Protein backbone atom coordinates (compact mmCIF):
# COMPACT_ATOMS: atom_id res chain seq x y z
CA UNK A 1 0.00 0.00 0.00
CA UNK A 2 1.38 3.40 -1.01
CA UNK A 3 1.77 5.70 2.02
CA UNK A 4 0.77 9.32 1.23
CA UNK A 5 3.05 10.79 3.89
CA UNK A 6 6.14 9.26 2.25
CA UNK A 7 5.42 10.69 -1.22
CA UNK A 8 7.01 13.80 -2.63
CA UNK A 9 6.70 15.99 -5.71
CA UNK A 10 8.89 14.73 -8.56
CA UNK A 11 8.58 11.08 -7.54
CA UNK A 12 7.75 8.66 -10.34
CA UNK A 13 5.15 5.91 -10.35
CA UNK A 14 6.31 2.39 -11.28
CA UNK A 15 6.15 2.44 -15.10
CA UNK A 16 3.87 0.11 -17.04
CA UNK A 17 5.33 -1.59 -20.10
CA UNK A 18 2.79 -3.22 -22.41
CA UNK A 19 3.16 -6.13 -24.78
CA UNK A 20 3.41 -5.32 -28.47
CA UNK A 21 0.11 -3.98 -29.83
CA UNK A 22 -0.63 -6.53 -32.54
CA UNK A 23 -3.56 -6.69 -34.94
CA UNK A 24 -5.01 -9.28 -32.56
CA UNK A 25 -4.80 -6.71 -29.74
CA UNK A 26 -6.76 -4.22 -31.88
CA UNK A 27 -9.39 -6.83 -32.76
CA UNK A 28 -9.79 -7.90 -29.13
CA UNK A 29 -10.03 -4.28 -27.97
CA UNK A 30 -12.62 -3.50 -30.65
CA UNK A 31 -14.75 -6.42 -29.51
CA UNK A 32 -14.35 -5.84 -25.79
CA UNK A 33 -14.75 -2.07 -25.90
CA UNK A 34 -17.65 -1.99 -28.36
CA UNK A 35 -15.70 0.52 -30.48
CA UNK A 36 -16.04 -1.12 -33.89
CA UNK A 37 -14.59 1.85 -35.77
CA UNK A 38 -13.10 0.18 -38.89
CA UNK A 39 -10.09 2.54 -38.87
CA UNK A 40 -8.63 0.24 -36.22
CA UNK A 41 -9.45 -3.19 -37.64
CA UNK A 42 -9.94 -2.92 -41.41
CA UNK A 43 -6.84 -2.02 -43.48
CA UNK A 44 -8.99 -1.36 -46.56
CA UNK A 45 -11.06 1.22 -44.70
CA UNK A 46 -7.92 2.77 -43.17
CA UNK A 47 -6.41 3.11 -46.66
CA UNK A 48 -9.60 4.72 -47.99
CA UNK A 49 -9.33 7.28 -45.17
CA UNK A 50 -5.75 8.11 -46.18
CA UNK A 51 -3.85 6.06 -43.58
CA UNK A 52 -1.05 3.60 -44.46
CA UNK A 53 -2.47 0.96 -42.13
CA UNK A 54 -4.84 0.43 -39.23
CA UNK A 55 -3.75 2.09 -35.99
CA UNK A 56 -4.52 1.55 -32.33
CA UNK A 57 -7.61 2.90 -30.60
CA UNK A 58 -6.62 5.92 -28.51
CA UNK A 59 -8.76 4.54 -25.71
CA UNK A 60 -6.62 1.37 -25.63
CA UNK A 61 -3.61 3.42 -24.58
CA UNK A 62 -5.78 5.40 -22.17
CA UNK A 63 -6.83 2.06 -20.65
CA UNK A 64 -3.11 1.31 -20.18
CA UNK A 65 -2.81 4.62 -18.31
CA UNK A 66 -5.73 3.46 -16.15
CA UNK A 67 -3.74 0.30 -15.39
CA UNK A 68 -0.69 2.43 -14.48
CA UNK A 69 -2.81 4.18 -11.83
CA UNK A 70 -4.76 1.18 -10.49
CA UNK A 71 -1.52 -0.85 -10.21
CA UNK A 72 -0.29 1.87 -7.85
CA UNK A 73 -3.34 2.88 -5.77
CA UNK A 74 -6.91 1.63 -5.23
CA UNK A 75 -9.22 2.86 -7.98
CA UNK A 76 -11.39 4.71 -5.45
CA UNK A 77 -8.54 7.25 -5.05
CA UNK A 78 -8.89 8.35 -8.70
CA UNK A 79 -11.05 11.48 -8.88
CA UNK A 80 -10.26 12.71 -12.37
CA UNK A 81 -8.26 11.74 -15.45
CA UNK A 82 -7.88 14.27 -18.25
CA UNK A 83 -5.80 13.50 -21.35
CA UNK A 84 -4.94 14.74 -24.81
CA UNK A 85 -4.15 12.34 -27.66
CA UNK A 86 -0.97 13.65 -29.30
CA UNK A 87 -0.37 11.28 -32.18
CA UNK A 88 -1.76 8.05 -33.55
CA UNK A 89 -0.33 4.74 -32.31
CA UNK A 90 0.73 2.48 -35.18
CA UNK A 91 0.22 -1.27 -35.00
CA UNK A 92 3.15 -3.44 -33.78
CA UNK A 93 4.68 -1.01 -31.28
CA UNK A 94 4.55 -1.33 -27.50
CA UNK A 95 3.61 1.42 -25.08
CA UNK A 96 5.29 2.55 -21.90
CA UNK A 97 3.14 4.44 -19.41
CA UNK A 98 4.75 6.73 -16.86
CA UNK A 99 3.56 9.07 -14.15
CA UNK A 100 5.25 11.72 -12.03
CA UNK A 101 3.88 13.55 -9.00
CA UNK A 102 3.40 17.24 -9.90
CA UNK A 103 1.75 18.47 -6.71
CA UNK A 104 0.81 17.24 -3.26
CA UNK A 105 -1.83 18.91 -1.07
CA UNK A 106 -3.21 17.93 2.30
CA UNK A 107 -6.24 19.40 4.06
CA UNK A 108 -8.52 18.20 6.84
CA UNK A 109 -10.65 16.19 4.43
CA UNK A 110 -8.40 15.49 1.44
CA UNK A 111 -4.97 14.11 0.59
CA UNK A 112 -4.54 14.94 -3.05
CA UNK A 113 -1.86 14.29 -5.64
CA UNK A 114 -1.73 15.64 -9.15
CA UNK A 115 0.05 13.15 -11.41
CA UNK A 116 1.31 13.95 -14.87
CA UNK A 117 0.75 10.83 -16.95
CA UNK A 118 2.18 9.89 -20.33
CA UNK A 119 1.83 7.02 -22.77
CA UNK A 120 4.84 6.79 -25.07
CA UNK A 121 6.12 4.62 -27.89
CA UNK A 122 8.27 2.04 -26.08
CA UNK A 123 11.06 2.37 -28.66
CA UNK A 124 11.10 5.95 -29.89
CA UNK A 125 9.66 7.69 -26.82
CA UNK A 126 7.17 9.55 -29.04
CA UNK A 127 4.36 10.84 -26.84
CA UNK A 128 1.01 9.29 -27.70
CA UNK A 129 -1.03 10.59 -24.77
CA UNK A 130 -0.27 13.31 -22.24
CA UNK A 131 -2.49 14.16 -19.31
CA UNK A 132 -3.17 14.67 -15.64
CA UNK A 133 -4.73 12.46 -12.99
CA UNK A 134 -6.07 13.74 -9.70
CA UNK A 135 -5.96 11.33 -6.76
CA UNK A 136 -7.42 11.67 -3.28
CA UNK A 137 -5.92 9.26 -0.76
CA UNK A 138 -8.80 9.94 1.66
CA UNK A 139 -11.38 8.62 -0.77
CA UNK A 140 -12.81 5.22 0.15
CA UNK A 141 -15.36 2.92 -1.44
**49 part of the interface to other proteins, by CB under 8 A:** yes
Nearer to other proteins, 7 or 78 (CB): 78
Give 93-141 as a DSSP string: --EEEEEEEEEEEE-SS-EEEEEEEEEEETTT--EEEEEEEEEETT---
Q: Which of 131, 140, 82 is nearest to 110 (CA)?
A: 140
Q: State the minimum distance, in angstroms, from the CB of residue 42 to other proteins.
A: 11
Binding mask 7-46 for other proteins (x = CB under 8 A): -----------xx-----x--xx-xxxxxxxxx-----x-
Supply the minimum distance, in Å, between the C-beta of residue 28 and other proteins: 4
Q: For residues 78-117, which are near other proteins according to CB under 8 A?
A: 78-85, 88
- In whole angstroms, what is the distance from residue 113 CA to residue 106 CA? 9
Amino acid sequence: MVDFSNLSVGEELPALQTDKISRTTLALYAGASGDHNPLHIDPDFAASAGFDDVFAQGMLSMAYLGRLLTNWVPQSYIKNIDVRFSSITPVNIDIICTGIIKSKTESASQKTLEIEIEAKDGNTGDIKILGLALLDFNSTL
